[in-house]
Amino acid sequence: MFKCKTVWNKLAPLARASSTLCLQNARKSALRHGRRLEMVQKAQMSSGPAGGGGENTLYYVLIGATCLGTGVYAYRTVSGDKERYNERMIEIGSRPKQGPQAAEAVAKVVTESKEEPVAEEPTLTEPPAEEPLVTEAVVESTETEPAAEAPVTEPIVEASIPEPTVENTIREPVVEASVTEPVAEAPAVAQSEEPLAPVVESEPTPVIIAECVPEASSVSESGKTADSKAAPAAEPVEPTAAPSDVPEHAPYLLIGGGTASFAAARSIRARDPGARVLIVTEESDLPYMRPPLSKELWFSDDPKVIETLRFKQWNGKERSIYFQPPSFYVSPADLAKVENGGVAVLTGRKVVHMDVRGNKVTLSDGAEISYEKCLIATGGVPRNLQVIDRAGEEVMKRTTLFRKIEDFRSLEKISREVKSITIIGGGFLGSELACALGRRSTDVGLEVIQMFPEKGNMGKVLPEYLSNWTTEKVRKEGVSVITDALVKNVTYKNDKLEIKLKDGRLFKTDHIVAAVGLEPSMELAKSAGLEVDSDFGGYRVNAELQARSNIWVAGDAACFYDINLGRRRVEHHDHAVVSGRLAGENMTGASKPYWHQSMFWSDLGPDVGYEAIGIVDSSLPTVGVFAKATAKDTPKAATEQSGTGIRSESETEAVAGALTAETTATPPPIQQEEDYGKGVIFYLRDQVVVGIVLWNVFNRMPIARKIIKDGEQHADLNEVAKLFNIHED
Amino acid sequence: MSYCKQEGKDRIIFATKEDHEAPSDAELIEDDPNDPYEDPGLILPNGDINWNCPCLGGMASGPCGQQFKDAFSCFHYSKEEVKGSNCVENFRSMQECMQKYPELYPNENDNDSAPSGGADNAPTESTSADSLPTFSPDSTPAATENPAAS
């Protein structure tokens, strides 16, 4: 049907244009050349191009226009019928399903249907034979013929709808087909016709309709989608998922259930009173924060931490990684009705198709949700090494791609069972996991190896001298760090994984954790027609995080324009929060660009911790200003001092003026032999500071943010460093 | 004595305490308090409450968000002698709502009393501070403090 329609859409203007044109031509030629008309007819006889010429064309155009005109009219009537038919179907489907005892329903339907046919006037003159695609339409139009017929239609349709799932896709076309038959027959014979019709017409029509249907939606389960298009309320889908569970419409639809999505939901609810927000997530968990999965949760004393996912912070305060407990959310089914709106989370569902023109999305189970504003916050999936991908199932079974709660649970279990774990990757995640596992290594007799191609931990982030210093610290945590390591292949041999490096070194281990980056999830780009960035990956959005009029993207998947730092894509937690909040604000009409610079942080054990902001790339020239560190300058001390849990929390929900720096106890001074105890490192691009790392120096992020925002060229960065008071607590 | 060294493209400065005690001559651009792009903190430039302030945690967005907003708007604009004394009804309905969700709003006793202090005081004062972090999940600084301004 849609193919037909698209083709028609293209032809229609042409048809109109040509009909106008030929009318004009006709008049002109009639007026100017009276006798010319005769010549036109004669010209028609001659088939040569020279002889025919303009008149020939004119004639063809006239005939063509007439045919097309008729076609337009016919099609319009027919497609109008389809809409009416669909509406009727919806109405029928929404009535309680009866199954085989359609008899009572039939009686009801007959009385109700009496109103319908009067309104529906087919007045179709064209023979239904022309195109297969028109058959369906014709079929429908014959349904709507005079009152006598209608009861024939309705009961058949009615009976078919309640029937079980798989059947239905064939049933409905059959039903439609069967209708062409009983045009002349009496309504009383309604029920009995059903068995006849399928025998005769079951083949052609379902095929035709099945062809048309996939055009309509590019969802793999086309049958189910057809149904959902024709009668959304009928939803003859799996018995497991209650169809009423999925709302048909969500004013605010957030695709993805991670940090960015939750931040947006909160922002929308704060700014739009009574907003109804629907989060659709593939995961089975409610929105949660990711950083503790590789840090705090590993340091917890609680043996039940794997189930509760609660962690005790340095100051003893406990919290869950979930942003909110389940009671915060409303159920998706109630979302439309609850008085003051709310946030609903639809778990275990993936959005597989996005119709931007129609403002709706299709889920993996075929359900459709229409929206007014949509946020794409799909994040990404961990990358894997090609050598592991190709290494076979035994190797894959013993490899963890760490990202979600289930990965944490599985790795935690594995860490207590195996003798050796190797982490491939020297960035944030790899180093944090290495330190976390290294901590355990002494308790449980676990060998922890970390290998990566760079020269030191965080080699792509920290300048070399600092990266080396960090690597030493990681080694002190009990990790065997292998630098300059390029993995050539991985094999499973004698119940062990053998990792062979390019330079020949061989390592035997029980389990591998691959922390080699994130691949942004871009699956909706194609169906939605959204631009994808080739440099950074991710959906390309503007400075206000907007991809199209009603579509925003936030979090790991967004490649956005940062007014201060240029186009970039950021994969940090705080960025997800900041961009999610901003997207939420813009979805409620704020029109603000990305301005508040997000930060990130990392703790590598109790001695090494840093916060950073902006573009922190070790390939940039850097200027580092250091002071000697005392025992007070560690992440642990920072949290104790500010009386909050997670170190960076002290910067966020802090009440104005509530933070007072009080040291509750003076820790014993530790002899600091290292040179790089604490300090601040500036990353420069064209002599402008674009990134800052605060090394073991905390609660100074606002100043760092200010310097980046200013974007000034400073002659002496030591002077700028003074602003941070690095010698003080 | 401060000194510096160069390692390739990276410059390293070791600064003494005395060196850094001298006032900095680095120049920072003065902030515009009415910059529309900046996150405004709890109170917007026009005097309204910024419900999206991270300092409020999830209070304005939760199931009792509407009651919370009503109560604190009333308090914020209250011109009574005892600020907020005309808002008792609002606070009561807020409290009622919060009692329905003990998981989200623990220590409901702390929400009884209207926050004392001026309008600028974020409603997250010391008594209810304990309850808030449990449902204020962002572990990130989306600024309540304007850089270098407050």
- pLDDT tens-digit map of A444-464: 889 999 999 999 999 999 999
d(CA A657, nearest CA chain B) in Å: 9
pLDDT at residue B128, rounded to an integer = 35
pLDDT at residue A1, rounded to an integer = 55
pLDDT at residue A561, rounded to an integer = 97
- Helices and strands of chain B, counted as H and E runs: 5, 2
| Residues of chain A contacting B135 with CB distance shorter than 8 Å | 324-325, 328
Distance of CA A703 to the CA centre of its chain: 35
* C-alpha dihedral, B26 to A613 to A469 to A674, nearest 10°: 40
B76/A61: higher pLDDT = B76
pLDDT at residue A301, rounded to an integer = 80
Lowest mean pLDDT of A157-161, A451-455, A609-613, B74-78, name the range: A157-161
B38 pLDDT tier (thresholds 50, 70, 90): confident
| Residues of chain A contacting B14 with CB distance shorter than 8 Å | 625-627, 675
Does the predicted interface ipTM exceed a cut of 0.85?
no
d(CA A324, nearest CA chain B) in Å: 6
pLDDT at residue A622, rounded to an integer = 96
Average pLDDT over residues A10-33: 58
Tell me whether A266 touches chain B (CB under 8 Å): yes
Sorted by sequence, the CB contacts under 8 Å of residue B38 that are 6+ apart come out as: A595, A596, B31, B32, B146
Instruction: Look up tokens 């989608």; give the residue.
Output: A225
Confirm if B135 and A322 have CB atoms less than 8 A apart.
Answer: no
The verdict on a CB contact (< 8 Å) between A626 and B12 is: yes
Task: State the Cα–Cα distance between residues B131 and B98, nearest whole angstrom.
Answer: 12
Could you tell me the domains of chain A? 249-289+326-381+520-588 (3.50.50.60), 384-516 (3.50.50.60), 599-724 (3.30.390.30)
Which strand (E) or helix (H) includes residue A488? strand A487-493
Chain A residues 646-685 with a CB less than 8 Å from chain B: 646, 648-649, 651-656, 658, 675
Which chain B residue has its CA at the smallest distance from A268's CA?
B61
* C-alpha dihedral, B78 to B84 to B90 to B96, nearest 10°: 160
Q: For an interface test with A, which of B17, B44, B138 has the most A Cβ atoms less than 10 Å from its Cβ?
A: B138
Average pLDDT over residues A576-584: 97
A140-154, A164-178, A474-488, range with greatest mean pLDDT: A474-488
DSSP secondary structure string, A516-548? --EEE--THHHHHT--B-TTT-SEE--TTSEEE
pLDDT at residue A141, rounded to an integer = 39
- pLDDT tens-digit map of A378-391: 999 999 999 999 99
A193 pLDDT tier (thresholds 50, 70, 90): very low
- pLDDT tens-digit map of A204-234: 443 443 344 334 334 333 334 333 343 333 3
Average pLDDT over residues A31-38: 50
Average pLDDT over residues A100-124: 43
Average pLDDT over residues A482-504: 95
Chain A residues 283-322 with a CB less than 8 Å from chain B: 289, 291, 317, 319, 322
d(CA B108, nearest CA chain A) in Å: 16
Token pair for A195: 């068995």
DSSP secondary structure string, A614-663? E---TTS-EEEEEE---TT-SHHHHHHHHT-SSGGGGGSSPPTTT-----
A653, pLDDT greater than 60:
no
- pLDDT tens-digit map of A44-70: 454 544 444 567 888 878 888 888 888
Token pair for A458: 């965080």
Confirm if A478 and A436 have CB atoms less than 8 A apart.
Answer: no
B138 pLDDT tier (thresholds 50, 70, 90): very low
Phi, psi of A279, deg, nearest 5: -100, 130
Token pair for A578: 């900041």
A258, pLDDT greater than 80:
yes
Instruction: Look up tokens 């005081």; give the residue.
Output: B121
Which chain A residue has its CA at the smallest distance from B20's CA?
A722
Give the count of beta carbons closer than 10 Å to the beta carbon of residue A469: 18
B85/A208: higher pLDDT = B85
- pLDDT tens-digit map of B113-126: 433 333 333 333 33
A82 pLDDT tier (thresholds 50, 70, 90): low
pLDDT at residue A237, rounded to an integer = 40
pLDDT at residue A728, rounded to an integer = 85
Which chain B residue has its CA at the smallest distance from A706's CA?
B147
Chain A residues 326-355 with a CB less than 8 Å from chain B: 327-328, 330, 340, 342-343
Task: State the Cα–Cα distance between residues A500 and A489, nearest whole angstrom.
Answer: 5
pLDDT at residue A577, rounded to an integer = 96
pLDDT at residue A604, rounded to an integer = 80
Average pLDDT over residues A683-701: 94
Q: For an interface test with B, which of A309, A469, A652 has the most B Cβ atoms less than 10 Å from its Cβ?
A: A652
A354 pLDDT tier (thresholds 50, 70, 90): very high
The verdict on a CB contact (< 8 Å) between B52 and A716 is: no
Confirm if A358 and A371 have CB atoms less than 8 A apart.
Answer: no
A373, pLDDT greater than 60:
yes
The verdict on a CB contact (< 8 Å) between A595 and B38 is: yes
* Closest among A605, A508, A598, A515 to A562, alpha carbons compared: A598
pLDDT at residue A289, rounded to an integer = 95
Task: State the Cα–Cα distance between residues A490 and A691, nearest whole angstrom.
Answer: 37
Lowest mean pLDDT of A542-546, A648-652, A719-723, name the range: A648-652
B145 vs A273, A656, A720: nearest CB: A656
A577 vs B38, B134, B138: nearest CB: B138
Percent of chain A at pLDDT > 90 equals 53
pLDDT at residue A603, rounded to an integer = 86
B10 vs A343, A463, A723: nearest CB: A463
Average pLDDT over residues A405-414: 95
Confirm if A709 and A703 have CB atoms less than 8 A apart.
Answer: no
Chain A residues 209-248 with a CB less than 8 Å from chain B: none
b vs e for B64-98, b when ≥16 Cβ sit within 10 Å of the residue's Cβ?
bbbbbbbbbebbbebeeeebbeebeebbeebbebb
The verdict on a CB contact (< 8 Å) between A463 and B20 is: no
Task: State the Cα–Cα distance between residues A358 and A370, nearest whole angstrom.
Answer: 8
d(CA A238, nearest CA chain B) in Å: 32
- pLDDT tens-digit map of A151-173: 433 334 333 333 333 333 434 33
Q: Kindly report the average pLDDT of chain A as a whole number.
A: 76
Sorted by sequence, the CB contacts under 8 Å of residue B81 that are 6+ apart come out as: none
The burial class, CB within 10 Å (0-12 / 13-18 / 19+), for A253 is buried
A240/A427: higher pLDDT = A427
Confirm if A514 and A401 have CB atoms less than 8 A apart.
Answer: yes
pLDDT at residue A670, rounded to an integer = 41
Task: State the Cα–Cα distance between residues A490 and A393, nearest whole angstrom.
Answer: 11
Give the helix ranges, DSSP H, for B78-139: 88-99, 126-129, 131-135
Phi, psi of A147, deg, nearest 5: -45, -40
A290 pLDDT tier (thresholds 50, 70, 90): very high
| Residues of chain A contacting B63 with CB distance shorter than 8 Å | 327-328, 330, 340, 342
Percent of chain A at pLDDT > 70 equals 63
The verdict on a CB contact (< 8 Å) between A656 and B42 is: yes
Question: Using CA of residue A407, residue A409, residue A410, residue A415, what is the dihedral sign?
Answer: positive
Over its C-alpha atoms, chain B yields an Rg (Å, rounded) of 22
pLDDT at residue A3, rounded to an integer = 57
A597/A37: higher pLDDT = A597
Over its C-alpha atoms, chain A yields an Rg (Å, rounded) of 34
Which chain A residue has its CA at the smallest distance from B16's CA?
A627
Token pair for A31: 């007026």
Average pLDDT over residues A573-591: 96
Q: Which amino acid is located at A144 in the chain?
A: T
Task: State the Cα–Cα distance between residues B112 and B95, nearest whole angstrom.
Answer: 7
Which chain A residue has its CA at the smallest distance from B129's CA?
A655
Q: Which amino acid is located at A505 in the chain?
A: R
Task: State the Cα–Cα distance between residues A298 and A291, nearest whole angstrom.
Answer: 11
B42, pLDDT greater than 80:
yes
Chain A residues 551-610 with a CB less than 8 Å from chain B: 573-574, 577-578, 581, 584-585, 592-593, 595-596, 598-599
Overall pTM surpassing 0.90 (yes/no): no
Distance of CA A212 to the CA centre of its chain: 28
| Residues of chain A contacting B24 with CB distance shorter than 8 Å | 719-720, 722-723
> Between chain A and chain B, how many beta carbons pairs sit less than 8 Å apart?
225
**Hey, is B109 helix, strand or coil?**
helix
d(CA A171, nearest CA chain B) in Å: 44
Lowest mean pLDDT of A68-77, A187-196, A330-339, A564-573, name the range: A187-196
The burial class, CB within 10 Å (0-12 / 13-18 / 19+), for A699 is buried
pLDDT at residue A610, rounded to an integer = 93
Token pair for A123: 């007045």
